[in-house]
A and B are shown apart, each in its own frame.
Chain A
Amino acid sequence: MIMDATLTGDDRVDQLLATITRCVHADAGVQQPASTTSDKLDIAIQGLDQLVKELVACRAAAANLEQRFDQVLDVVGSMAALDFTKQVPMGEEDTNFDALAAGINMLGEELTASMVSRTYVHNILESMNDALVVIDAQGMIQTVNRATTELLGYQKEELLDQPIGIMFADMDTALTGGRAMPAQVIQNTEVAFKTRNGRELPVSFSASVMSDAFGEHAGMVCVAHDITERKQAEEALRHSIVQEEVIRAQSAALAELSTPIIPITDQVMVMPLIGTIDSQRAQQVLEVLLHEIAGRGAAVVIIDITGVVVVDTQVANALLQAAQAVKLLGARVMLTGIRPEVAQTLVGLGADLRSVVTYSTLQSGLAVALRRTNGAQ
């Protein structure tokens, strides 16, 4: 009543009430109109209470929003540092902010998946022993792996955005046909790469067309395998084959020289042996001897061993075998050039040379042979 009396007629009460009413949310239910000043003040107090509640709620919402923004910032910051493990906490309501949080989380999941794939593919490419080069539709290098930089001696940055031709020793090869880049699929074509210091490297080169999502030509994926070692091995093999052929020819010539057979007459032939006679040469002597006797129809063959350094059991047996084989062909063998120390050795070895006619010198043996064959004629 005191207030009513004091404030009666004070139009500021009406102004206060009008201001509070405007501030209070329309659906908050502030009662009006009121007739007395006391009623008006009650309504004002009620409105102020409502305003306080709204302010408290607003502050709580602002604090909550601030906290959620901090959470979003934290997650986005982690993503920028390539840490995709954090997620923005989700609210219970389907608000725009919840959708924003969900969107960030989902993007994080997608980035995780693509980063894992990217790292996986990157590791594969970097682990390759062969050079891998990706070029765009204009033939400019877009990707190179470790093997490429090691092979060519370039830094990665020196190759990127350069024309593919920088890698080839000859751009006018059949590979490119003078174009900026290969236009077709290439499989294991031998071409020469050019290193940073100008050295040429033989490589086995393959390339295939890369298409984009719309099926358009997007470039090519090229793989090159260094075949320097293979080339060297092939060269070495070629060289060794040539060498082998030379050695074989020399051996044949030597064999021919080591088993010479000299026809003296139609009936008499001489085979002077020089050097060492091993089992292989003994076999060769036998073959040549029989072949020549059969071919020429000779009656006497003089084997002269004046030049044979060592006569052992093996040589003695070879000579005996030769004599027996010659005999089967209807001819005879004379052994000449038996030096004293050889005679001594043969006796020491117990070689049975009874089936062989022997003479100390070629001259004496030849004389006898000619005489006998002349007589026979």
Chain B
Amino acid sequence: MTGEEITTRTAVIRLEDDGIVRVIAHPGAVETVEDAHNNIDAMEQVCQGKRRPTLVDITKVKSQERGAREHYTGPRTARFQSAVAVMINSPMSRLLGNFYLGFNKPEVPIKLFTSQADALVWLKGFLQ
């Protein structure tokens, strides 16, 4: 049973049957701090009060404000995320992903993937 799906200005966020949350950025998304706020609200909502592993597909993101990255990796997200797998299949997403490993490291485990299947295998280890 697929859980609730929320579409924001920059992404589609939903909880899948496997218990893993998908965050898929819209093509050409330019994410501001406000977008990050809205996406975090949506993620928290679909998590339904439980910490869940999250697959974030940023392969189509065009840019992201620094404040947005700070929000995505702030202490609030650790309340409903147990781990984050980031899909990187474009130059920009590879760059963004590396910022999340360095400058904007979240409080939960994070790993970059080019294969969604590998990402899901890794995330399943964080199901609670």
Chain A residues near B (Cβ < 8 Å): 90, 94-96, 98-100, 102-103, 106, 109-110, 113
Contacts and interface: CB of A to CB of B under 8 A. Distances in A.
Contact of B66 (A90, A96, A100, A109): A109
B62 interface: yes
Given A94-B90, A95-B91, A96-B91, A102 B63 contact: yes
B104 to A, nearest CB: 8
Interface string B78-106: 00000000000011101100010001000
B66 A113 contact: yes
B103 A94 contact: no
A102 B95 CA distance: 8
Given A106-B99, A110-B103, A94 B91 contact: yes
Interface in B26-76: 62-63, 66
A96 B92 CA distance: 8
A82 to B, nearest CB: 18
The 4 closest A-B pairs by CB, nearest first: A99-B91, A109-B66, A96-B91, A99-B95
23 contacts: A90-B62, A90-B63, A94-B62, A94-B90, A94-B91, A94-B92, A95-B91, A96-B91, A98-B91, A98-B92, A99-B92, A99-B94, A99-B95, A100-B91, A102-B63, A102-B92, A102-B95, A103-B95, A106-B95, A106-B103, A109-B66, A110-B99, A113-B66
A114 to B, nearest CB: 9
Contacts of A100: 91
A100 B103 CA distance: 17
A250 to B, nearest CB: 71
Contacts of B66: 106, 109-110, 113
Contacts, number: 29
B5 to A, nearest CB: 26
Contacts of A109: 66
Given A103-B95, A110-B103, 15 more contacts: A90-B62, A94-B62, A94-B90, A94-B91, A94-B92, A95-B91, A99-B91, A99-B92, A99-B94, A102-B95, A106-B95, A106-B99, A106-B103, A110-B99, A113-B66
A370 B65 CA distance: 114
B94 to A, nearest CB: 7
A106 B98 CA distance: 11
Contacts of A96: 91
Contacts of A102: 63, 92, 95
Nearest to B98: A103
Contacts of A113: 66
Contacts of A95: 91
A113 B95 CA distance: 19
A102 B103 CA distance: 15
A96 B91 CA distance: 5
Contacts of B62: 90, 94
Contacts of A106: 66, 95, 99, 103
A102 B91 CA distance: 10
A346 B85 CA distance: 112
Contacts of B91: 94-96, 98-100
B97 to A, nearest CB: 11
